[in-house]
Every structure is written in structure tokens, then in C-alpha cells.
Structure 1
Amino acid sequence: MANRPYPVITVNEKAARSLRAGHPWVYGAETSGPDRPCQNGDLVDVVSQKGRWLGTGLYNNHSKILVRLLSRNTNDRFDQDFWRRRLRYALDYRKTVMGPDYACCRLIFGEADQFPGLTVDRFGDILVTEVLSLGMEVRKDLLYPLLVDLLREDGVTVRAIYERSDAPLRDKEGLPKVTGFYPLPGLATDLDGHLLLEENGIRYDVDYIHGQKTGFFLDQKYNRRAAAALAPGRKVLDCFTHTGAFALNCAQAGAAQVTAVDISQEAVALTRRNAALNGLEGKVEARQADVFDLLTQLAQAGGHPYDYIILDPPAFTKSGATVKNAFRGYKEINYKAMKLLPRGGYLATCSCSHFMTPALFCQMLREAAADAAVSLRQIADRRQAPDHPILWGVPETEYLKFYLFQVI
């Protein structure tokens, strides 16, 4: 600790155990300090009550997360070379695990890449970013040009960077919401926000300005492929379709019939456009409906109009306080789907909320199956694509649960 230039935050034993186990967050209620004045966004050292150094992180007293750890290496100096190395690690990882899918993938996944609160998605030559921490916000002017330079070294010329930093979490960091093209010299700032993306051989019209999150959910890439493998010859109901991705993958794979449902008329229109882009408009019916109501109506009508149902709902909970309500919501749609399917039918079901833990999600599925008087024969237990890596010790990075079952 001698001669280190950073203010010192002392944490209690609970926080120290969490940090030693690999978690990067320090909550204000678990600390004392800093030992001298510092500004929000500054680097601080974190030590145990016995004075043991635990790491260096980014400070923000606006947030309940007082410090987000950046490094556990006392030799790190946090200069431009440090950030360049860390970005290079992230890019090289994606090139390794994504192969040809590197063209459209998540380049930076926050804490899992040791960029706390930063997301960067690549759609060809467009980067879409989201910043949810003050520490990354004050460093983005350094990080974005470095990222563009490193991609250029890989033969990728970035055309534009669009910021989608408009999530409510910005309020908790004391940050205003920001959207718009990032004005980096040489990059475009006047695009219409639409691009054509290809994934699993399917083309999509992506709106990265007005679409949800960064415009397209890249994390289900390989789960869509797995779901499509069961589709040939089947009558498929794709619930909460959003961009129509699961429906289109199943139609292309040879499904006999595909119905894509979403409560949003905009999502239905987008699904129809994407179906037309791929010559699948005759194979995919997109309709507007509340999935909960639709599953009830189909059950009341009797029979088994579908032998394959896909449930890809939005996050029913974004906090620990609403997990019980979310559990009931997930159970209701899964129960209804299980009742609607014939014996031997297939179910794809998932949750994208990290508060709905794998154990809790499995408990919900068991209860739904028991209430529906069916058994579940597991085909696959999957998570998000590896460009959204799960960092052990940081449960928040394990958020997507995806299961394939035969219902018997």
C-alpha cells in the first residue's frame, strides 16, 4: 500500500468476503472512508478492516454501489495502455468464441469484461453503446476512440457509434439520460438508425435508435438455432416474438406452420417486415395479442392447435422485491403452454431476468408441470451466447435461462 496515489475505502468483513470471492461491487453501507477527499468517478483503493488491499475501483457516492472494482493487480496504472490492453482482451475473446459471428455480437459486457456498467454491441460497422456507471461515463471519451482504433487493426472500419444510455439505472448513478450519435471525428452522425443484420442465415431490419435496448437481442443467437432444430414439420406458436426471431428461425428450418404473437403492434409489423425480407411471409403469421389471454382462449377452444410452443417473455422482474410476482407470471404462461400442448409436444421456455435465478426458474417449471399433470423430458439447458460471458463469482452476469423440453 505504500506510495499509492489513490484515496482509501475501508470495507467491513462481509464486503471483503464478497470481493475475495470475485464480486466487483462495494456497497456504501459496507464501508468507511474515503480517507481523503475525492471526486465521483475517481479511482480509489479498497482495503479490509485489517488493512489488506483488495483492489482498485471507481468511486461514486451517488450510487448504492459506492465502488465498482476495476483491478486486483497492484501493478496496474490505469493509463491509456491499460485500457487498450483490456479492450484488446475483450475483442480477442469474441474473435475466439464467436468465429464468423464476430461481425454481429456483444463486444463489451460490463462487469464480465471488467468494464463495469459499459455495454458495446457490434452490428457490422455500427457500434451501439450503453453506459450505466459514472466511472465509465467519464472515461468513454478515451475508450471509444481506442475501440475504433483496435477494430481498425482487425480490418473493421467503424461507420458510427450510437449511444443508448437512457435506462433508469442512470438516475441511480446521478447521470442524465443520453442518446444520439457519438461525435468522433471521421464517424457518421446523420444515419437513419436502420441496418440489415444477418444471424443464423436470417436477415433482420434492425432499428438501433428506436428498438428495444440496443436494437436487437444478440444473446439468444444460438438458442434460436437450437430451437429451430426441433421445428421441421411442426406447428409452432412463438410467444412474445418481438422481432420474430424464433419464428423466422423455425420457419426457415421447415416448420409446417408458424404463428408469431406479440402485444406490441410495432413488434408485429417488424416481424412481418422481417418475414418478407427472408421470403417467409407465406410461412409466418404475425398477430397482435396478449399472450396470457391468447393461451387461455386457445385452451378454452379445445384441441391442440400447436405442437411446439416458444415462450421468450421480457423480464417479468427487474428487482428482488418483485420476484414473487414474476414467479407467478412465469408459472402461469408455462402452465398454460404445457396444458395446451399435446403429449409429445415441445416447449422452449426462458427468462432473461437474473433475479429469476436458475434454481428459482427450475422450481417454477416443476410446479407448473405438476399443476398441468405432465412430465418434462429435458432436451437442452442453455444460457446466453458466449459473447455475453458468465463471470463466476458475479451472479448478475448469469441472467438468461433457456430450456427445451418434450412434454409427456
Structure 2
Amino acid sequence: MPKGEPTGKVIVKPEREDAVKRRHPWLFSGSVAKIEGKVQPGDVVDVVSQDGTWLARGFVNPQSEVPVRIATWRPDERLDEEWLWNRLQQAWQRRKQLGIPDQTDAFRLVYAESDFLPGVIADCYADFVVVQIYTPAMEKWRDLLAEFLMELLKPKGVFERSDFDTRLREKLLPRIGPIKGEPPPERVTITEHGLKFLVDVWRGHKTGFYLDQRENRLRSEPYLKGERVLNAFSYTGSFAVYALRAGAKQVINLDTSAEVLRLAEENAAINGFAGSVQSLEGNAFQVLRKFRDAGEQFDAIVLDPPRFAPTKATVPNALRGYKDINWLAMRLLKPGGFLVTFSCSGMVSPEMFQQVLFEAALDAKRDVLIVERLSQSRDHPILLNFPESEYLKGFVCLVC
């Protein structure tokens, strides 16, 4: 259990001090001149300049590409149990201040650095909290974190889904299972804007559901009421259910996983739309080309692909992928159809994504109007001094 007292110092290279002073919460390995003291992964360290001036305090992991995650710029603040409790309480108060939960019992309570708790994601699904822990420091806090969440929210249980790539990069082994209280059932039922969804918190993507798209689903609903709607990269079919409520006669859910398509059918059925969705298993790039060759047409298309650019090196290929899939969608839309399109690649800026859509429209020989810009839900706040916290961007486009 961390005691909150620094066990060492991390000396920053002179040319990299500005980033710390500008309150960026990550200190990259290239910014570190030296680590002093017998520090272990997860220890508290002070971040200082070459002349010894105190700059910040955070958690260290010498094995990581981000060896220090800064948690405070206040020299009098200890990173101890009280700090953890206060951060959780403050995150909960911010959600209530933002009107969350509002027409939903599924939301993000803790969004890592954006809630000043680096290394922790905590998502609420009805009576359960699902956490992702991806730094050695928060690994040490694991049991106390679950205890505090039980005390703060009174859920039936706290469940862990620490099985994603960031954890591996921190040299931590993946782990899935209950931490505190009851284990969740195979399917957790949540409510969102009057609709119900079944969530697989044991095996689903992320923590089970795309909470970051909650507000985008509602905002997109009026554009998805056409006769025929394609929901590509559909996952468990949440956009399809909103489209059906809006009045769509038929929605095709397209995904590579037969398992999630079955869950998408269940999600349609529990909302009274059994038989109104068609499940299509396959690669979206290939299937959309087949649709194009067959002369298929749609009134609306949703594109919510997985992250194409996990690193800067993959951005050029990602942009080609985004252009290709949007070009195909524009070709498949009837004149006056709507394209609701997203990128969740943090390395791809909104400006880059808009440029991709422009190039796709040129090649598709379609006139395209942007009618709405979309971002991540407000329970995934964007910290101004941490641009990396903004990753989801989207557009609603009218394709003429």
C-alpha cells in the first residue's frame, strides 16, 4: 500500500521543463535526465528541475514509456489514501454537476487523467462498477479503490477488466474478475434514454459498452429514420436500436463477430424491435465493396470503426483506411442520405478527420454537408492541458 511519501526524485531535462510547468500529466522517457533514489514501479516521486526546483509529484514506473504520471502540482499534497478518496468523491460530484446520471444508469465515473486519477477507469453499469487499472501505482491501490467505490456508490459489486494493451505496456499482466462484492451476471441490463441494452462486462469491448457514444446515439437518432439503415462496425447494435425507435424500417448490423451480432439482436428484441434487424457477419471494407458492386443503396449509414491509429507511426495507414470506408459509404448513400461517421483514434485530430472526409467526397463525386460535429460524452471530459484525453470525434453529414 503506497504511503504517499516520495521515495525518490525524477530530474527533468531543461528543455522539457515547460511541459511540466504547463501541467501536462505525462512525463515521457525522453524528458527524464535522471532518476534518483531506490524507486520501484508505483512509488511516489517528486519531479524536479536540474537545479533542484520542485515542479510536481506523481507516480513512477521506470519500465514504461511514460515513466512518471503526474498527480499533483501542489507541493503540500500527499498522494495517500485521503488523496484517493478525495479524487473519487470529486469525480462523483462532477458527474452530478453535469447532470449524470441523467436518463441512464450507465456512465463513466472516473476518466483517468481527466479526473486527476491517472491509471484508473471506472464505469458504472446499473448495480455494478467496472474498473480498468493500468499503472503499477493504481495496482497497489486496487483493493482500497474497490472498497472506496463500494462506499461511495453502494453498488452490488466492483468488477475488474484490466485486460487491455495499455496495461501490457506498463509491464502488468492482464486480469479479469470480481474485486469486491457480488460478481456481475453474464448480462447486465442498463437503461439509456428510455432504451434498454444488455452489456457483457466479462468479455465485451472496453468495459462492455461504448459509454462515450451515449450522447451521440441520441443526437444521431433523427438522422437514422430512413427506410434502410446500415450500421457498420455495429458491435452490440446500440445505434441500430436508436434508428429503429426513430422509424427505420430495416437496419443491417455489420460486424466481424457473430457473438456480438447475436447480442445486437437481443438488444433489438428487448426494445420491441425483434425481426427488424438483419445481422451480417463480415469485414466492413469487403462487404461495402460488395454492396457497391451490387448497386445497393441506403438512406443512412453509421460508421463507428475501432481505433485505426494506436500510434503516430500508424496514422498514414489509418487515414487511408478512414478515407476508404467513408468513400464507400458515400457511394452507397441515396441522394439526401445521412452519414454518421466516427474516428476514435486519438492520434487523428478532428481537422485531419475532416480532411479525410473532404478527400473521400471528392473521389466519390458527392457534395457533402456537415450538419453536426460530435464528440465523446460529457462523462469523458477533455482536460485542456491534456489533449490526449480527446480521442472521439464524429460528423453527421448530409450526402447530396
Q: Which residue number in structure 1 is paired with residue 75 of structure 2?
A: 74
> What amino acid is aligned across from residue 274 of structure 1 in structure 2?
N
> What amino acid is aligned across from residue 72 of structure 1 in structure 2?
W
Q: Which residue number in structure 1 is paired with residue 325 of structure 2?
A: 333
Please point out which of 174, 191, 202 is paired with 1:198: 191
Q: TM-score, normalised by structure 2?
A: 0.95
Which ranges of structure 1 fall in alignment gaps of 5 or more residues?
A: 152-156
Are positions 1:217 and 2:210 aligned together? yes
- The 1-side partners of 2:238 and 2:266 are apart by 12
The answer to whether the 8 Å contact 2:149/2:158 transfers is no
Q: Secondary structure of the equivalent of 2:301? A: strand
Q: Which residue number in structure 1 is paired with residue 287 of structure 2?
A: 294
Q: Which residue number in structure 2 is paired with residue 311 of structure 1?
A: 303
Q: Which residue number in structure 2 is paired with residue 121 of structure 1?
A: 123
Q: Which residue number in structure 1 is paired with residue 160 of structure 2?
A: 163
- The 1-side partners of 2:15 and 2:268 are apart by 52
Aligned residues: 395
Q: Which residue number in structure 2 is paired with residue 47 of structure 1?
A: 48
Q: Secondary structure of the equivalent of 1:198? A: strand
**CA positional deviation for 1:343:** 2.1
Q: Which residue number in structure 1 is paired with residue 379 of structure 2?
A: 387
Q: TM-score, normalised by structure 1?
A: 0.93
Q: Secondary structure of the equivalent of 2:102? A: helix
Are positions 1:188 and 2:188 aligned together? no
Are positions 1:354 and 2:323 aligned together? no
> What amino acid is aligned across from residue 332 of structure 1 in structure 2?
D
Counting aligned pairs with the same residue, the percent is 37
Which ranges of structure 2 fall in alignment gaps of 5 or more residues?
A: none
- The 1-side partners of 2:79 and 2:206 are apart by 30
The answer to whether the 8 Å contact 1:95/1:102 transfers is no
**CA positional deviation for 1:101:** 4.5
The answer to whether the 8 Å contact 2:339/2:399 transfers is yes
Q: Which residue number in structure 1 is paired with residue 335 of structure 2?
A: 343
Q: Which shows bigger deviation, 245-254 or 161-170?
A: 161-170
The answer to whether the 8 Å contact 1:28/1:65 transfers is yes
- The 1-side partners of 2:77 and 2:291 are apart by 60
Q: Which residue number in structure 2 is paired with residue 259 of structure 1?
A: 252
Q: Which residue number in structure 2 is paired with residue 154 of structure 1?
A: none
Q: Which residue number in structure 2 is paired with residue 242 of structure 1?
A: 235
Q: Deviations over 1:288-332 (max 9, x none)?
A: 232112211121122x52121110111112111111111111110
Q: Which shows bigger deviation, 204-213 or 226-235?
A: 226-235
- The 2-side partners of 1:101 and 1:398 are apart by 24
- The 2-side partners of 1:323 and 1:146 are apart by 39
> What amino acid is aligned across from residue 54 of structure 2 in structure 1?
W
**CA positional deviation for 1:102:** 6.1
Q: Which residue number in structure 1 is paired with residue 147 of structure 2?
A: 145
Q: In the superposition, relative to structure 1, how do residues 336 and 290 fare at CA in structure 2: closer, same or farther (>3 Å)?
A: same
Q: Deviations over 1:208-267 (max 9, x none)?
A: 101112111111001011111112344211111101000110101111322211121112
- The 1-side partners of 2:174 and 2:101 are apart by 34
Q: Which shows bigger deviation, 265-274 or 192-201?
A: 192-201
- The 2-side partners of 1:309 and 1:14 are apart by 47
Please point out which of 389, 393, 396 is paired with 2:388: 396
Q: Which shows bigger deviation, 91-100 or 105-114?
A: 91-100
The answer to whether the 8 Å contact 2:103/2:194 transfers is no
- The 1-side partners of 2:220 and 2:49 are apart by 48
- The 1-side partners of 2:103 and 2:347 are apart by 29
- The 2-side partners of 1:286 and 1:5 are apart by 55
Provide runs of 4+ in structure 1 moved above 6 Å. none
The answer to whether the 8 Å contact 2:11/2:48 transfers is yes
Q: Which residue number in structure 2 is paired with residue 88 of structure 1?
A: 89
The answer to whether the 8 Å contact 1:84/1:146 transfers is yes
Q: In the superposition, relative to structure 1, how do residues 101 and 13 fare at CA in structure 2: closer, same or farther (>3 Å)?
A: farther
Q: In the superposition, relative to structure 1, how do residues 146 and 122 fare at CA in structure 2: closer, same or farther (>3 Å)?
A: same
The answer to whether the 8 Å contact 2:103/2:191 transfers is no
- The 2-side partners of 1:236 and 1:351 are apart by 20
